[in-house]
Every structure is written in C-alpha cells, then in structure tokens.
Structure 1
Amino acid sequence: MDRRWTDVALTAAAPVTWGTTYLVTAELLPPDRPLWAGAIRALPAGLLLLALTRRRPHGLWWGRTAVLGALNIGVFFPLLFLAAYRLPGGTAAVLGATQPLLVAVLTVALLRDRPTRPALVAAVAAPLGVALVVLRPGAGLDPLGVTAGLAGAVAMAAGLVLTRRWGRPPGVGVLAATSWQLVAGGLMIVPVAAAVEGAPPAPDGPALLGYAWLGLAGTALAYVLWFRGAARLPVSRVSVLGALSPLTAAALGWVVLGEALDPVQLTGFAVAVAAMVLAQMPDRSPRPQPAGDADSPAAALAGTSAGGVRSLPTTLAGTRQGSGRAAWWLRGQPARSRRQSSGHASAATPSGSTPAGSCAAAASGSVNRCAAAGPAAYDRSSSHRTSSAVQPRPERAAISRTSRRPTRVSSS
C-alpha cells in the first residue's frame, strides 16, 4: 500500500474509534455524568502517555500546550456534551461535521494555504451525507445547543490547524506531545465537572470497562493517530475524515442495537464516504508555470534586453570566473529578483555603449574583450554594477572604438 494511503488509513482509525463513544456511553457508563466522563477519559490517558515518554514541555511550549489542550480537549469536550444534551443526537453530529468547512477557512487564514478543489468539494459533501444519515424529521434546534455545537466545531478545527502550524518541539515525538494536550485538557475539565456534576461517580464493573476502552483506545491511541495524521497530511484532508465518527455511531446502532437504516440514510452513507475518498485525491488541475525564457538561469544568461543589450549575468559570462559568479548570483536569487536585477542592469547601460557591445561580442565568441572585465566589473558591494564600469586608466589615452586592443578595467 502507498505510504500516503497508509497514513490516511491510520488517521481514519481515530474518528472510527471515537464513533464507538456513543454506544459505550449509552450501554456501560453512568448516566448524566458527561463532564466527568470527559475528564476520566482524557486525564488518565494523558498521565499514562506522560509516564511512558517522560518528556515535559519547555519554554513557549507551556503556553502552546495550554492552548492546544484547551481547543482539542478542555473546551471541546464540554461544548460537545452540552450540544448533545440540548440537541437531538443527529443535529449535534451534523454541527460537528461542519468542521471541514471551518478548517478550510482557518487553513487560508493561519497557514496561508489554499485547500485543493477535491478537498473543498468534500468539505461540502461530507456534512450533507452525515445529515442524510443522522437527521430525523422534527429534529429540534435549541439556540444554546446549536451555539455550543458550532463553538465546539470551531474549537476542534482551530486546534487541528494550530497543531499543524506549530508542529512539535525538536526531538519530541507524537506520544509526548499528545500526552501534554491530554493532561492540560483533562485538568481544565476537572473543576468544571466538579462544579456542575458534583463528586465523580463510583464506577461499577461495566463502567470500568467502558472507561478503560474510552481512555486507552478512544483517547490515548485515537489522539496519537489523529495528531500523527495532522502532522503528515494536509489538514483539509484530515478534517474530512472526522465524518467517520457519526457514520460509525450510526453503523453500530444498526449492527448492535438493531436500528433500521432506510434508503435515505444509505444514500447519505455513500455520499459521505465518497466525499472522504475524494478529499484524499491530489489536485490534478494545471498550475501556471513560469516561462522558461524568463526564469531559468540558462535563459537569464542567454537573454537580452529590449534594446539588445546584455544584462549583468550575460556580461559576467565572458569568462569562466565571471560565469561562475553569474551562476552563484542566479542560484541565490528568486526568479522575480533575477528579472528585476536584469532589468536594472540593462537600463544602466546605454544600448549604444562600446563596453556592452564588446561584452556581447565576447559572449558570442568573436572577441574576448570582457575576459578581464567580468570579475572586476562586478563585486558584491553593488549588485547593479555593469560593464559600464569599464574605463580607460587616467594615465593613458582612451582607445578608439576601432582599436582591437582590449581596454583596462578600473578596480574601484
């Protein structure tokens, strides 16, 4: 399997695992304790990874870890549970599925990168497919629940984009970076859960099994895979894979709980899955390429200005040493700078001047008149000095134009 598709498959395993949260919570966990469920899910998993890696943040990463932990865990979990309590499950899932659209906007704003066309089409099609799967007639739209659902999607999208922008400190692996975020986010949820829900629940056997699954597989493993994918794949492609979470929940409800799936829901499944596959396809639209005669070093060395005068790199090409300096100058400058400098050099030398004409002849192999002029006529102190610097020495008379004797070069 291609390495890119391996990364996609491993990243997709994270939202698939998150999709089991609905079933595990409903069947195994104590009721009406969503905040404590989020804290117990995040904090032990983060402490476990922290004990395994034994790496702590340093410097500015204390602040970055707090921001990422809040966006991905500490703020996202409470908003998610609030939306789930105030809205029907299908409505909350659709609001969460808008994350790819939010990621597309934040990618342009924060990363200065435009998502590909397939990614943009998928960002619209994936929420549509999820809506067909999970929305039922008469679904309520509580204002507070809708606000919480959208705010949670914004928090998760911002956390994903910032995770890609900031990366990780040098020498720090994905396990350590994930542990920092889980610990920071879990510590933020604990006081909120204690204030809203009181003391943590006393778990029984099924609850312990549910917490273990959500902590180890649904949090520690899933977030490691998710952040790994965010570091290796474009964030627009990663965000679309989040639609697998509600789709997995609906599929488990059909398989485990015996819930029926009508043709509309099956159509939604097909649309959402096709959108996720489309988002992983590379953009094959043609991109404008710079003209070879304007941007390539060879073309710059061989080109002339509108008045027929060779530019600075061409002047330097009269000798091996000058050609070497010209190549050095071209390698160190972008294409736009090369064009600008070429234009300045051409403008600085009159089209009828003898030195420029002699350099052109030298470049064509007729007269090696610039053999001495090239290196001395150009130095690093002025990138716009041209062959017009070729002057006769004061103690000697100027050589006539018809003379075949090469002129001397001023070393100033």
Structure 2
Amino acid sequence: MSRTSDVLLTALAPAVWGSTYLVTTEALPAGYPITMAALRALPAGLLLLTLTRCLPPRGWILRSFVLGSLNFAVFWALLFVAAYRLPGGVAATLGALQALMVILLARGWLGTPIRASAIAAAASGVLGVALLLLGPEARLDPIGVIAGLGGAVSMAAGTVLSRKWQPPVSALSFTAWQLTAGGLILVPFALILEPALPALTTTNLAGLAWLGLIGAAASYALWFRGIARIEPGAVSMLGMMSPVTAVVLGWVWLGQSLSMLQSTGAIIVIAAVLAGQRANRPRANANPLAAPPLRATAS
C-alpha cells in the first residue's frame, strides 16, 4: 500500500475522534468522566481480544500497561480534567502542542532528525487550532493548563513509544492489549473517585457503543497501524484534524456559527497537516537506522 493510502487511513482516526465532544455532550450522562472513559476502553479492548484471540506474551504485559496508561488512561483522564476546567478552545490548543512534543521525543527515543520545516508545520498547526477554537471567553485555569499539557505529553510519549515498541502482531491485537490495559487501570479510579453510575438510557448506550467500537477499537487500530508505517511526526500532525472535524460537526449537526476567523484557522490547520506530511517524510539519503519503516505483521 502506498504512503498516501497509509496517511489517508490514519487520518480517519482523528476525523472520528472529532465526534467525541458531540457524542459526549449529547448522548452521555454528565459528571462521570473516568467511568465513561473506562466503559469506552475496557469493553472495546475485551471485544478485540475475543476477536483476535491474541494475548500479550509475558514480555509484553508491562509494555502494554505502560502504553495503555499513556495512550488511554492518563491521556483520557487529563483530557477530561482540562475540558472541565478550561474552555474547549484552550484545551484543544494545548493538546495541539502534542505534535511539537512528538518531534522532540522522537529525536531522543528514535534518533529521528529535527527539521526546521517540521517544527514550522507543527507551530502553524497550533496557530490554526487557536484561530479555529479560541474565543473571547478564553481563560487560563492553572490546574486545567497543567492537565492539558500533561495530556499532550502523555499522548506524545505514547505515540513515540508505540513506534519504538512494535510487537509482531496485527494492529488490532496491539490495540486490544492497550485498550484492555488502559481500561483496567481506569476502573478502580472510577469506582473510588466517582459516584455510582445511574441506569443508562438507550441514547447513553448508543453513545458508548459509538465511542467504544468506532471511536476506540476501530479508530485506534487505524492509528497504531499508521504509527507502524508512517513517521511519528507525520502521524501526530494528523491529530490536528480532530478539532476541525469537531467544529464542522457542531456547524452541521448543532447549527453552530462558523466565523471567518474560524474558517481561516481551519484552512491553516489543513495546510499545516499537509506540510507536516512532507516535512516529516524521510529523505532518500537519510540514515535508515534513524527511523526505520516498521511494519506490523499479521497475528
């Protein structure tokens, strides 16, 4: 499969994640962020384990829990804290800094060279997200800012380590291990920190089904598949498409207005994502040991 096809398939993941805010606010009960995260991760992970029939070998159990923490448990928990304490635009802008963090972490953990063009593309993407989402009500709550930055660091580290630690299994199996581990980590925190969940309505169950099956199992399988095939910096740039999708869905589904400034921000984000794909692509004379084109084999 061509690199362009790999990029387009990977981009489907953040496009789906853009629906998370809409589904969460319109279909899920409010006030149970950790419980909802656990219900999103664990059932999806167990379902994938049942389908793939591939348990992690002993040497991969600890790594699965580390990755499950970074990509799901810690990231989702901090994401909810930031979302509750900050306006959505501020939280999303902090999250967009993940692309810059991936470039730095990939240099240390993978030996990937840092290119000025890649830094410029990532910085432009952050600016585009800010124009797309920041409004006059933007405020900086210290705890919310720390949570937003912590979430970006968590996902950046999870992205780079998911490339560094590539098990000889399919992307579905790799996703199953991480979702299950992340869900198991979230469950005790949900039980301790949050009240008992009320009876779920049909709408609640439909929302959880979407977030679990499509927004977690299917989308993250595409995401981890992309991490195995595309440079981490290029993959992280694709994540900036999530707020674009969220704004478009709010405009189409909820009838929210879309200003000229927001439209300009969306154009900048899309241009930055395209530039990031070119900037992070390995050069023909690059050291092949610096960022090998890893491929996950079928389980």
Query: With structure 1 as the length reference, what TM-score do the two structures score?
Result: 0.67
Question: What's the CA shift for 1:281?
Answer: 1.7
Contact kept in structure 1, 2:124 and 2:272, CA below 8 Å: yes
Q: How does 1:58-207 map to 2 (within 5 A)?
A: 58-168=57-167, 170=168, 172-207=169-204
Gapped regions of structure 2 (runs ≥ 5): 287-299
Displacement of 1:283 in angstroms is: 6.8
Query: Partner amino acid for 1:156?
Result: M
Could you tell me how far 1:39 is from its partner in structure 2? 0.7
> Cα distance, 1:118 vs. partner?
3.6
Distance 1:255 1:112 in 2: 43
Q: Does 1:258 align with 2:271?
A: no
1:113 to partner: Cα distance = 1.0
Q: 2:47 & 2:282 partners in 1: Cα distance?
A: 46
Mapped contact 1:104–1:236 kept (Cα < 8 A): yes
Aligned AA (1:84):
A
Give the equivalent residue in structure 2 for 1:324: none
| 1:396 counterpart residue number | none
Q: Could you report, residue by residue, the CA deviation over 1:229-264 in whole angstroms, capped at 9, with x for unpaired residues?
A: 000000000001111111111111111111111111
State the SS of the aligned residue for 2:58. coil
Kept in 2: contact 1:194–1:200 (CA 8 A): no
Once the two structures are superposed, residues 19-40 of structure 1 have per-residue CA deviations (whole angstroms, 9 ceiling, x without a partner) of: 1010011111111111111111
Q: Contact 2:87 / 2:137 at 8 angstroms: preserved in 1? A: no
Note the alpha carbon deviations across 1:132-183, whole angstroms, 9 max, x for none.
0000013110000000000010000000000101111x3x111111100000
Counting only pairs closer than 5 Å after superposition, residues 185-334 of structure 1 correspond to structure 2 as: 185-281=182-278
Tell me by how many angstroms 1:187 deviates: 0.7
| Other structure's SS at 2:31 match | coil
Distance 2:118 2:38 in 1: 33
Single out whichever of 52-61 and 228-237 deviates more from structure 2: 52-61
Aligned equivalents of 1:104 and 1:7: distance in 2? 20
Name structure 1 gaps, 5 residues minimum.
Answer: 290-412
Distance 1:144 1:4, change over 3 A: same
The residue type equivalent to 1:233 in the other structure is I
CA distance in 2, matches of 1:234, 1:40: 31
Alpha-carbon spacing, 1:134–1:56, altered in 2? closer, same or farther (3 Å): same
Aligned-residue identity in percent = 53
Contact 2:133–2:262, Cα closer than 8 Å, also in 1: yes
Corresponding residue for residue 315 of structure 1: none
AA at the equivalent of 1:18: W
Amino acid corresponding to residue 264 of structure 1 in structure 2: L
- 1:364-398 Cα offsets, whole Å, 9 max, x none, are xxxxxxxxxxxxxxxxxxxxxxxxxxxxxxxxxxx
Offset of 1:282 from its aligned partner?
A: 5.6
Please state if 1:26 is matched with 2:25: yes
Distance 1:115 1:212 in 2: 40
Q: Which has the larger radius of gyration?
A: 1
CA distance in 1, matches of 2:285, 2:170: 38
Partner deviation per Cα, 1:106-138 (whole Å, 9 max, x = no partner) = 011111111444422211111110000000013
Instruction: Give 3-state SS (helix, strand or coil) of 2:239's partner.
Output: helix
Q: Which has the higher contact order (CA 8 A, sep 6+)?
A: 2
* 8 Å CA contact 2:132, 2:266 repeated in 1: yes
Number of matched pairs: 286
TM-score by length of 2: 0.92
Does the CA contact (< 8 Å) of 1:122 and 1:279 recur in 2?
yes
- Contact 1:115/1:236 (CA < 8 Å) preserved in 2? no
Alpha-carbon distance in 2 for matches of 1:284, 1:237: 7
Question: Which AA in structure 2 matches 1:188?
Answer: I
Q: How many angstroms apart in 2 are the aligned matches of 1:119 and 1:233?
A: 14
Q: Residues 13 and 32 of structure 1: is their aligned pair in 2 closer, same or farther, counting only changes over 3 Å?
A: same
CA contact (8 A) 2:231 2:281 kept: no
Q: What pairs up with 1:333-348 in 2 under 5 angstroms? A: none
| AA aligned opposite 2:221 | V
Counterpart CA distance in 2 for 1:285 and 1:160 is: 18
- Deviations, residues 210-243 of structure 1 (Å, cap 9, x unaligned): 0111111000001000000000000000001111
Task: Give the AA of the match of 1:245.
Answer: S
